[in-house]
Amino acid sequence: MNVGFLIEDWAHIEPGKSSTLLLIQECMLRGHRVSVVYPSNLTVRNNVAHGFCRVLQEMEKVPDSAASFYKKVKFEEQMLPLQGFDCIVIRKDPPIDPIMLNFLDSVKNQTVVINDIDGLRKANNKLYTTTFHDPNNAFLPVTHVSKNKEYLKRMIAESPTERMILKPLDGSGGRGVIVLERDAKENTNSLLDFYINTRSDTSNYVILQEYIEGAHEGDVRVLMLNGKPIGAYQRKPSDGDLRANIHVGGTAHKYKLTESQRHVCKKVGPRLAADGLYFVGLDMIGDKILEVNVMNPGGITNINRLNKVKLQRQVVDFYEEKVNEWAEHRAELEYIFQRLNELRH
């Protein structure tokens, strides 16, 4: 299998934390040909989408240690057509690069792209959860999204809770997440002004969300593969911080999903798979889904370490299955076209 990984920068990979590195290493362990390409290195040559790729050279023995593998990898620079890959795996942090997806549009019917390009367009924002249809807030928190300050102030005033969460719509990694206290309403105006009007030439959408009890204890990252949970761990915030994201000081802890959480995953899993969002990270507090991470979900390293497993094997198994399915589908189409041509003649 010839696999291309679309990543931000190989030099920025942290071997002890990177899920992407484990996926690349697993592909190499299986003897697949692996290349990495940066979105900024996509190009078109005579109307065919290419990438200035860094092809990982074959190793006599692929190290079992991710850190050793990372140190020993050597590359060969090649300009390759994107349609030559059996599978293209998008592992780039948000925000989404629409130009990158435009390049991939030209090959989405010729190779497997994970996650699906149209699915990424639909889901790479915090409004995607509205498609889950949960009018009674059984598994989605009460959420308002607007750039209308007066409307947001009214929602705060009408809320039955003492606290709400405020965050930017386009934020990621816990950036800009704060708690609004009802008793501190004199700060509301200035906070909304700051979040909505961060630039003079435009205004920004913000999210106003109910504060879920237990949030101070952290959240749960659930990794979903083809619509089913394959692992989870709990993220606990550091002292004095609401955010549980690992890169801002949160810590990882072993966790077993409850039956009710598994029920929530079962409800949303089919929608994720139908939208081509095969490898996804759900962030949950209790039975409520806060966010759906579709671009570059992490957590494999923590779940592996805490549970003595190797989730990357399941993920690469899935890559191989999708490539085989696509090859069979293409062979069927070619046979149909061949028969049609024979009948015409």
Query: Are 49 and 84 in a shared domain?
Result: yes
Condensed to tens digits (0 to 9), the pLDDT of residues 144-183 reads 999 999 999 999 888 888 889 998 887 766 678 888 887 7
Strands (E), the chain: 2-7, 33-37, 42-45, 48-56, 75-81, 87-91, 112-114, 143-146, 163-168, 178-181, 206-210, 219-225, 228-236, 251-254, 279-285, 288-293
Query: Are 108 and 9 in a shared domain?
Result: yes
Is residue 343, in this structure, part of any structural domain at all?
no
Query: Are 156 and 101 in a shared domain?
Result: no
User: Most confidently modeled of 136-145, 287-296, 308-317?
Assistant: 308-317
Q: Which two tokens mark 269?
A: 């899993």
SS3 290: strand
Q: Residue 110 in contact with residue 83, Cβ under 8 Å?
A: yes
Residue 168 has what pLDDT? Answer: 87
**Least confident segment among 59-68, 95-104, 320-329, 333-342:** 333-342
Is residue 49, in this structure, part of any structural domain at all?
yes
Please report, for the domain that includes residue 198, its CATH number: 3.30.1490.20
Q: Residue 237 in contact with residue 215, Cβ under 8 Å?
A: no
**Structural domain range at position 246:** 218-309
Query: Is the model's pLDDT at 7 over the cut of 90?
Result: yes
Is residue 205, in this structure, part of any structural domain at all?
yes
Query: Are 305 and 319 in a shared domain?
Result: no
Query: Are 110 and 176 in a shared domain?
Result: no
Q: Residue 304 in contact with residue 310, Cβ under 8 Å?
A: yes
* Global pTM value: 0.89
Is residue 334, in this structure, part of any structural domain at all?
no
Please report, for the domain that includes residue 27, its CATH number: 3.40.50.20
Q: Which of 54, 69, 62, 66 is nearest to 9 (CA)?
A: 54
Query: Is the model's pLDDT at 143 over the cut of 60?
Result: yes
Q: Cα separation of 61 and 23, whole Å?
A: 17
Query: Are 282 and 223 in a shared domain?
Result: yes
Is residue 345, in this structure, part of any structural domain at all?
no
Q: Which of 127, 145, 146, 147 is nearest to 203 (CA)?
A: 147
